[in-house]
Structure 1
Amino acid sequence: MSVLDKKPSREQKDDSGLPKLPVPPLQQTLDMYLKCMRHLISEEQFRMTKAITDNFGAPGGLGERLQRKLLQRREIKANWVYDYWVEDMYLNNRLALPVNSSPAMVFPKQNFTTQSDVLRFTAHLISGVLEYKCLIDGHALPVDFARGQLAGTPLCMEQYYKLFSSYRLPGPKTDTLVAQKSFVMPEPEHIIVACKNQFFVLDVVINFRRLNEKDLFTQLLKIMRMAESEEENSPPIGLLTSDGRTEWAEARSALIQDSTNRDSLDMIERCLCLVCLDEPCGMDLSDTNRAMMMLHGGGKDKNGGNRWYDKPMQFIVGADGCCGVVCEHSPFEGIVLVQCTEYLLKYMKGSPAKLVRAASVSELPSPRRLHWKCSPEIQKMLTSSADNLQRLVKNLDMNVHKFNRYGKEFIKKHKMSPDAYIQVALQFAFYRCHGRAVPTYESASIRRFQEGRVDNIRSSTAEALEFVKAMTDKKNNLTDTEKMEKLCEAIKAQTNYTILAITGMAIDNHLLGLREISKDLNLEKPEIFTDETYVISNQFILSTSQVPTTVEMFCCYGPVVPNGYGTCYNPQSDHIIFCVSSFRDSPETSSDMFVKALVECLGEMQDLCNTQAKHSNTRERTEEVNEAAKDRGKT
């Protein structure tokens, strides 16, 4: 092992006791890269890529130079990949946030019968948010521990501190993730309430005292009445935040030319979170429709302008009971969102709304409406933003499916990892629909390390492809036992790569680091990163994530490429919720087609497991009978 491939020392830990993220050995990453891509490209392309990769990793070559620089970076950074990763994954991305980037958590449908029901629920929700923020501010949240593979390891809690104290500022070429806390500005003590495309400042602390739910209800009622009085005259400024990031940066530059707009922007950018009081969406509230409403608000004619997408947490409360939260994803991962929203739903269920018993602040100043001055230039930008959002709304093809035949208990009964099993099923379904395997992204938490976010589990393994071919090729004449062996091999390959990823040894962050360090050194981009195979390897036609919950809700998001699928899944004991998204303007994809294939594939995998279990039981009983007969013969 060369000096470049030495494992990192164990002493580099922060106050939490967590180690630094390791830099994987260079040759290990290059070998794994070739292995991951070999079955996804042509033989000719693979030969070219192998030659390029071998040249990059040659002793004394460019790869070793970049690896040394990465190891030096690791010494001086809490997390050597964090800045590179957040810029590459989010801040440099110019696509609009709704659908393309921001995930949503869909709450159970609420049964509101009056306006008071809506406001009571909202006041209760805000009260829960403030309670949760108190836990965060007091560093009183219990430390998370890993579940699943290598369970029990403590995890980094850094992401929680960004839930209510960060903001994504648009820029012409790259965005900035702004931390709110500073020694100059006081901490924000207000939230922004969006209602009828207008924005209101709701102070949640007045005279050093936090408002109780009765006060919050009173203030929300005032906001609703103020919004109704100005409904016709309010420009839907929130639509600008739904546009592409460069377009929104340009519009924001135009807005801040006026001091009124600057003041309004400042109040929004410094708030704790948004609460969006939505109008009824005018659709049946199926799981699929509620998911779409969370992701994009239904466009300009529904609630699309009743948003501010740059804020990490936007709680949606629809008058028709369509509720949830949509998140700006750059500050934190899905599990942090799950922990927060589960706390809120349990809080609301466990503590009744306190609208009568609590004493109120005697004189409540009215909430403040934010004002905007719109030049003809800004009006033109608003029209363009509205049209762009409308195209996005029409293009999203969503299917939320509750698979009821079985859940994770069935999978565990057959001694398999539920996550690995579902990932193989997704490969099976994609192959059935499209007749090929494609690069696949599955997020893997690296919170075992300081400031850890995620790396990628490359689920499209050669072993998974072998299994799906065994299941789909009628000519192979494989027995069920042979098919089961291939399924087990696919599960094992998936599990092994998962362990690589969560222990900081996967390839995607490492390759990103090598690429970005070459940029920092002002080098010409290395050939390995201009090679067609590397480009293909980062086009994640299947983008997947397991987001399990312990309360009734589910997560959803859009595809990450024009011809791809976004597939979020929530495995429960006896069922699995799948949220499958794609784009209608792609001639290749269809969410309904994918879900139909997925249901079929999960059924065939169940039948295979049951058949093999039956054969195993029969074989075991036969062996027991034979053993008993031998024993009788001996006696």
Structure 2
Amino acid sequence: MPILEREPPKGRRESYVLPKVPVPPLRQTLDKYLTCMKHLVEDEQYQNTKAIVKKFGESGGTGEFLQKKLLERSEKTYNWVYDYWLEDMYLNQRLALPVNSNPAMVFPKQNFTDRKDSLRFAAHLITGVLEYKERIDSRALPVDFARGQLAGTPLCMKQYYRLFNTYRQPGLKRDTLLIHQPGVVEQEHIIVACKNQFFVLDLVVKGKKLKEMDILTQLEKIVKMAENREERQPPFGLFTSDGRTEWAQARDVLIKESVNRESLAVIESCLCVVCLDEPSGMDCGDTSRALLMLHGGGHEKMGANRWYDKPMQFVVGEDGVCGTVCEHSPFEGIVLVACTEYLMKFMTGSPSKMGRATSVSELPTPRRLIWKTSTQIDSLLKACAQRLQSLVRNLDMDVHKFEAYGKEFIKKQKMSPDAYIQIALQLAFYRCNGRLVSTYESASIRRFHEGRVDNIRSATPEALAFVKAMTDIKASDSEKIKRLWDAINAQTNNTILAITGMGIDNHLLGLREISKELNMDMPEIFMDKTYVTSNQFILSTSQVPTTVEMFCCYGPVVPNGYGCCYNPQSEHLLFSVTSFHGSTETSSAVFIKALDEGLLEMRGLCSRTNKSQAAPSSTTGHSRPGVGGKPPIPPESRNVTLWRF
């Protein structure tokens, strides 16, 4: 097993043992793949797929050869799937980052009395960010440990150390994740966006770190500078909202000028971006705040007051709309949750350190980033603005608080809240469409070295049997509750397989990618229509629970799909559902209505049957079935299902 070094500073060495991500048995993955897809495609198509899979997996065939090569790769690397996964999930993707990729965390609505009040909030937030980064740099963050079934197992911490030192640079065919190594590039500045202008806020002046009052002073200067129309620069932040290839092409034009290269380099090496937004003119309800976080309301509002390539981008609106927008490739949701919860607790629990005197006698004027434009660049910017506006108009979002009950009721049924909600999502989709589709629910594999996620395929045969029973007026309650337990158990078993490195998606991805590396003809299994269908996640879901008042949201991953992020609380369930107006197959409001109805029907079913029917013996006494008699892994644990990617 490899030793995972946590990049200790100045000779301080701390390490802990983490296993490598396993390579699942080939036959197990192929059998599971067929099981996952049989009920999601037509029978004729399935029979064709079954024959293709059989040929792929036969003794001495292509599958065995690729499996052997994958095992060899595993022996030579710390994590055989990491690079494949990162490129496939993010760096190779060409869609624009807003909505399509970048998730957002929406903070509670703030009640600012005036602009200076919002700047005080921003200064305090930046102070919290610097404190959290200091904890990261000094390796003072406590190591996360797995709970439940494999309690005590340390979890990989590397994602935390990429919160503030990474940048996603656009490429013509593939983006690059830049990682600034400590000691090589000193990150001593943040970028502040205000009125679509970008300013450098140096955090160290004359060898001294700025105090909170200093930061506030600099933010006030930035706001004043941004109001100067004579020095106003073009809204170059719009470029980062465009498709990745289009942005890469525009970047190639920009960097022909040295001043543009210098401005880009300063942004790429910053610690984070802080966006000081003007009032949006929209209502400040949950849905409107979520929209402003995801895409800024387009170029007519705050869409150009962003730099979407930077992983950590904090938004502080003068009207109290606040949150963070994240470029997702360096880290998963649990890291974002941990960071933002720390900041929210810092904001409410740590008094603002605004002294009368500043710590630095003379603060230099913050530097405005300068851009050299041209007719060609202006034309490219206008095209960017139009494409962003189309994306804004197309997004159909509904943030909904289901208040009839929360996870405590589900736990009383001795059911996993996560599995229960996943089944409810399947029921809602079936009610709307009369079928089930490939569904993505992320499962953390952080118990392994550099582990990211695999997929829990929630659209199981057992889930289909349940939703059919629930929509059959002839089905009895006893049959329905049995089908519900079958679906819960199947979902739980899939979860356990995924978090222990036995999921099918990463394995199939590895087999496909290693065939490319070997310059082989693409195996038929990966060109099969069923494989294409299996990776079109019309229902993209994730549980992102929080312990403080905030919520996460993101967009669909396919044009005719839904993005559904849910936050189970004790007495209510919060759902952020997105789809696209351009699809005739989807409607966020219709889906929410079906979800509401299904959750109420499931409660009624449980309430009617729990008096006369005990839970199945395999789950008696615990909310989730375990393996080998061990306690199950709680779905709300930080290392289970906390993000879609």
Shorter-chain TM-score tier: over 0.9
User: Any residues of structure 2 matched to 1:313-332 within 5 Å, and which?
Assistant: 313-332=312-331
- Map of 2:227 onto structure 1: 228
Q: Is the Cα–Cα contact under 8 Å of residues 226 and 232 in structure 2 kept in the other structure?
A: no
- C-alpha separation between the residues in 2 aligned to 1:324 and 1:113? 18
Q: Is the Cα–Cα contact under 8 Å of residues 414 and 609 in structure 1 kept in the other structure?
A: yes
- Map of 1:392 onto structure 2: 391
Q: CA deviation at 1:13?
A: 4.9
3-state DSSP class of the match of 2:128? helix
Q: CA deviation at 1:181?
A: 1.6
- C-alpha separation between the residues in 2 aligned to 1:443 and 1:199? 35
Q: Which runs of 5+ in 1 are unaligned?
A: 1-10, 618-635
Q: CA deviation at 1:232?
A: 7.7
- Map of 1:401 onto structure 2: 400
3-state DSSP class of the match of 2:44? helix
1:510 aligns with 2:507: yes
Counterpart amino acid of residue 404 in structure 1: E
- C-alpha separation between the residues in 2 aligned to 1:212 and 1:12? 41
- C-alpha separation between the residues in 2 aligned to 1:44 and 1:127? 61
Q: CA deviation at 1:482?
A: 1.3
1:585 aligns with 2:582: yes
Q: Is the Cα–Cα contact under 8 Å of residues 460 and 491 in structure 2 kept in the other structure?
A: yes
CA offsets 1:217-274 (integer angstroms, 9 cap, x no match): 0000000000001378321100010000000001111000111111111110000000
Q: CA deviation at 1:307?
A: 0.5
1:65 aligns with 2:65: yes
Q: Is the Cα–Cα contact under 8 Å of residues 433 and 594 in structure 1 kept in the other structure?
A: yes
CA offsets 1:282-340 (integer angstroms, 9 cap, x no match): 01101000000000000010000001110000000001000000000000001100000
- Map of 1:596 onto structure 2: 593
CA offsets 1:12-53 (integer angstroms, 9 cap, x no match): 554421100000000000000000000001111111001000
- C-alpha separation between the residues in 1 aligned to 2:274 and 2:151? 36
Counterpart amino acid of residue 344 in structure 2: L
Q: Give 1:567's match in structure 2, choosing from 557, 564, 567.
A: 564
- C-alpha separation between the residues in 1 aligned to 2:551 and 2:106? 5
- C-alpha separation between the residues in 2 aligned to 1:146 and 1:600? 35
Q: CA deviation at 1:205?
A: 1.4
1:82 aligns with 2:82: yes
Q: Is the Cα–Cα contact under 8 Å of residues 543 and 566 in structure 2 kept in the other structure?
A: yes
3-state DSSP class of the match of 1:455? strand
- Map of 1:41 onto structure 2: 41
Q: CA deviation at 1:148?
A: 6.3
Q: Give 2:535's match in structure 1, choosing from 530, 533, 538.
A: 538
- C-alpha separation between the residues in 2 aligned to 1:325 and 1:182? 24
Counterpart amino acid of residue 245 in structure 1: R
User: Any residues of structure 2 matched to 1:88-167 within 5 Å, and which?
Assistant: 88-147=88-147, 150-167=150-167
User: Any residues of structure 2 matched to 1:609-624 within 5 Å, and which?
Assistant: 609-616=606-613
Q: CA deviation at 1:479?
A: 1.4
Counterpart amino acid of residue 61 in structure 1: G
Q: Is the Cα–Cα contact under 8 Å of residues 338 and 549 in structure 1 kept in the other structure?
A: yes
3-state DSSP class of the match of 2:323? strand
1:277 aligns with 2:276: yes
Q: Is the Cα–Cα contact under 8 Å of residues 160 and 332 in structure 1 kept in the other structure?
A: yes
- Map of 1:492 onto structure 2: 489
Counterpart amino acid of residue 308 in structure 1: W
- Map of 2:637 onto structure 1: none
Counterpart amino acid of residue 327 in structure 2: E
Q: CA deviation at 1:186?
A: 3.2
Q: Is the Cα–Cα contact under 8 Å of residues 149 and 499 in structure 1 kept in the other structure?
A: no
Deviates more, 1:477-486 or 1:190-199: 477-486
- C-alpha separation between the residues in 2 aligned to 1:154 and 1:325? 28
3-state DSSP class of the match of 2:582? coil
The 1:358–1:29 alpha-carbon spacing in structure 2 relative to 1, beyond 3 Å, is farther
Q: CA deviation at 1:180?
A: 1.2
1:482 aligns with 2:479: yes
- C-alpha separation between the residues in 2 aligned to 1:231 and 1:121? 29
Structure showing greater radius of gyration is: 1
- C-alpha separation between the residues in 1 aligned to 2:260 and 2:594? 50
- Map of 1:621 onto structure 2: none
User: Any residues of structure 2 matched to 1:13-32 within 5 Å, and which?
Assistant: 13-14=3-4, 15-32=15-32
Counterpart amino acid of residue 90 in structure 1: Y
Q: CA deviation at 1:206?
A: 1.5
- Map of 2:624 onto structure 1: none
- C-alpha separation between the residues in 2 aligned to 1:115 and 1:506? 50
Aligned residue pairs, count: 604
- C-alpha separation between the residues in 1 aligned to 2:148 and 2:455? 16
User: Any residues of structure 2 matched to 1:299-314 within 5 Å, and which?
Assistant: 299-314=298-313
CA offsets 1:45-88 (integer angstroms, 9 cap, x no match): 11100100000000011101100111111111111000000000
- C-alpha separation between the residues in 2 aligned to 1:95 and 1:359? 45
- C-alpha separation between the residues in 2 aligned to 1:609 and 1:79? 43
Q: Is the Cα–Cα contact under 8 Å of residues 263 and 370 in structure 2 kept in the other structure?
A: yes
Counterpart amino acid of residue 199 in structure 2: F
Q: Is the Cα–Cα contact under 8 Å of residues 212 and 358 in structure 1 kept in the other structure?
A: no
- C-alpha separation between the residues in 1 aligned to 2:118 and 2:159? 30
Q: Is the Cα–Cα contact under 8 Å of residues 399 and 580 in structure 1 kept in the other structure?
A: yes
CA offsets 1:572-592 (integer angstroms, 9 cap, x no match): 111111000000000000000
- Map of 2:353 onto structure 1: 354
- C-alpha separation between the residues in 2 aligned to 1:511 and 1:262? 40
1:608 aligns with 2:605: yes
Q: Is the Cα–Cα contact under 8 Å of residues 164 and 311 in structure 2 kept in the other structure?
A: yes
Root-mean-square deviation (CA, aligned residues, Å) is 1.2
User: Any residues of structure 2 matched to 1:187-198 within 5 Å, and which?
Assistant: 187-198=186-197
The 1:603–1:147 alpha-carbon spacing in structure 2 relative to 1, beyond 3 Å, is farther
3-state DSSP class of the match of 1:567? strand
Counterpart amino acid of residue 417 in structure 1: S
Counterpart amino acid of residue 325 in structure 1: T
Q: Is the Cα–Cα contact under 8 Å of residues 428 and 594 in structure 2 kept in the other structure?
A: yes
Q: CA deviation at 1:113?
A: 1.1
- C-alpha separation between the residues in 1 aligned to 2:18 and 2:406? 34
- C-alpha separation between the residues in 2 aligned to 1:231 and 1:217? 24
Q: Is the Cα–Cα contact under 8 Å of residues 2 and 78 in structure 2 kept in the other structure?
A: no
What TM-score comes out, normalization by structure 1 length? 0.94
The 1:430–1:152 alpha-carbon spacing in structure 2 relative to 1, beyond 3 Å, is farther
- C-alpha separation between the residues in 1 aligned to 2:613 and 2:151? 30
- Map of 1:440 onto structure 2: 439
- C-alpha separation between the residues in 2 aligned to 1:205 and 1:348? 22
CA offsets 1:73-115 (integer angstroms, 9 cap, x no match): 1111111000000000000000000000000000000001111
Q: Is the Cα–Cα contact under 8 Å of residues 74 and 80 in structure 2 kept in the other structure?
A: yes
3-state DSSP class of the match of 1:548? coil
Counterpart amino acid of residue 440 in structure 1: T
Q: CA deviation at 1:488?
A: 0.3
- Map of 2:454 onto structure 1: 455
CA offsets 1:526-558 (integer angstroms, 9 cap, x no match): 000000000000000000000000000000000
Q: CA deviation at 1:146?
A: 2.9
3-state DSSP class of the match of 1:366? coil
The 1:524–1:236 alpha-carbon spacing in structure 2 relative to 1, beyond 3 Å, is same
- C-alpha separation between the residues in 1 aligned to 2:93 and 2:418? 29
Q: CA deviation at 1:154?
A: 2.0
CA offsets 1:420-475 (integer angstroms, 9 cap, x no match): 0000000000000111000000000000000000000000000000000000122x
Q: CA deviation at 1:145?
A: 2.2
